[in-house]
Amino acid sequence: MGSPRSMTSLVALVLLATARAADGNATRTYLDSIARMVDGGVEGMDAALWASIEACMGDVDGGRLLAASDAAWRGLGHYDNPADPWGSCNASTGCKEYKEMNETTLDVSGVLVYEPCNTVSNAAYYRTAANLCGAASDMSRGDRDAVVAAVAHMAFGSSFWHGSHTRLGNVADNGLIQVIAYADYQVMVRHLVGGVYRRGNATRDRVLLSLSSSRDRPSAADAARGLTDLFLTRPADEWKDYIATIDVPDYFTTFAGVVLELLTLVAPNSPHLVDEVVQIGARAFNLSDAVVAFMTDELLPAQRAAVAELPSPLSALERAGLACKFVGTMLKLGYAFLWQEYFFPCIYGVATNDLGAAVMPMVNKVANLLTGFKHADADQQRCERVYAADDRCRKLDVAPHAKWHESSANGLLDLALLADDVHKLTSTKARAASPLGRFAAPFADGWAALFLAA
């Protein structure tokens, strides 16, 4: 340790570095360059959209999300790992390949982008993050920060993957959606664990919260903050191993947790129906016996017991409302899956992609009538100006995956709002309200407004 003077300059240096790191410049520089790549007529991403993204990320985790995003994009720009060069994660090395293959060089740092439309369309996830920041929500600040950070990190991870075809990009794309699902799921069970309506029961709370029968996992908020720290403090060469071993439940288990939780709330008196859904899901997704056993023997009993212990059961109106929101959200996510490129490999041609682009706003409209969710960002729902060159990319026959990004970003927005709704429905305040009041409130500010506008 040196003299006070060198200490002072050290502090000044650190302050300077932090200030520079957290200004959003690197993120914006790359997002703008990606926008210019697909649309020569623009200077960058829509300025108002960027402003909302910057304000949102600057507000999460005390500004650390924005700083982490800058560090992540700088890491991408300088990623030069001989063991994982640009383009090396391809079919011959066991990675997925997408239809779009149109190598284009960014005008910043000479970064090569293999899939322009599949890269720029990730701006839809940043848009979802910003919309989540803007939405009125019942979640705690910590939960909201976790959900927003997970979505923002995935926006980066997916951009990295479709741009670079590196193993690191691949891991970042696949690994981060699980963090989003886990963050949403934890919001949904927040009021069902011990300490809210009952004394804690470590076994049951572990199953409910960690989706594990054997150990307590770090929370989704810890997982999201871990990623923020990773980008902020570690060099890009170390990101892959960290993300590949991040301790969150696998995607299927978490998604099953979400679906079973909703079904248990919507149909508490029809356990056989829910059991049947597990069997159907197990066959459809070829789930392992161990996963199915966890669902039937541990997760469902824990969820049922927790729902049965709510101080007042959900009224028929509340259950009907939740069912509509559930169906509307699944409609968007289901539509997104059509364009993922791997589940339905045979449907992609010029006409189907055109049709798919034309139908997307209609799907959103029907889904929004079902959910009643308020969306301040009308463009995202109408599929207009969602990202640069979206008109072209949305219809492009070689880029069905760009529709997956846009539609799933929209569906993930609703999934978070749905989780928030469950959080609100299971809160002490809602459980103490009169049955009429419990339905009237969401109807008045959600569905009614939509029907009037329709």
Ligand X SMILES: *[C@@H]1O[C@H](CO)[C@@H](O)[C@H](O)[C@H]1NC(C)=O
**Cβ closest to ligand X, residue 188 vs residue 302:** 302
Please state the closest distance from residue 199 (CB atom) to ligand X, in A. 8
**Cβ closest to ligand X, residue 165 vs residue 325:** 165
The H or E element that residue 147 is part of is: helix 141-164
Cα 201 to Cα 4: distance, rounded to the nearest angstrom: 53
Please state the closest distance from residue 24 (CB atom) to ligand X, in A. 9
**Cβ closest to ligand X, residue 116 vs residue 442:** 116
Cα 245 to Cα 179: distance, rounded to the nearest angstrom: 12
Q: Which residues bind ligand X (CB under 6 A)?
A: 25-26, 29, 37-38, 87-88, 90, 92-93, 102, 104, 108, 116, 201, 203-204, 286, 288, 301-302, 305, 396
Please state the closest distance from residue 186 (CB atom) to ligand X, in A. 18
**Residues contacting 293, CB < 8 A, separation 6+:** none
Cα 61 to Cα 68: distance, rounded to the nearest angstrom: 10
> Which pair of tokens denotes residue 443?
């109807």
CB 73 within 8 A of CB 26: yes
Class of residue 68 by CB neighbours under 10 A (exposed 0-12, middle 13-18, buried 19+): buried
**Cβ closest to ligand X, residue 356 vs residue 446:** 356
Number of C-beta neighbours around residue 365 at 10 A: 14
**Cβ closest to ligand X, residue 29 vs residue 368:** 29
Burial letters 174-190, b for 16+ CB under 10 A, else e: bbbbbbbbbbbbbbbbb
**Cβ closest to ligand X, residue 288 vs residue 428:** 288
Please state the closest distance from residue 92 (CB atom) to ligand X, in A. 5
Please state the closest distance from residue 29 (CB atom) to ligand X, in A. 4
CA atoms lying within 13 Å on the CB side of residue 436: 0
Please state the closest distance from residue 292 (CB atom) to ligand X, in A. 11
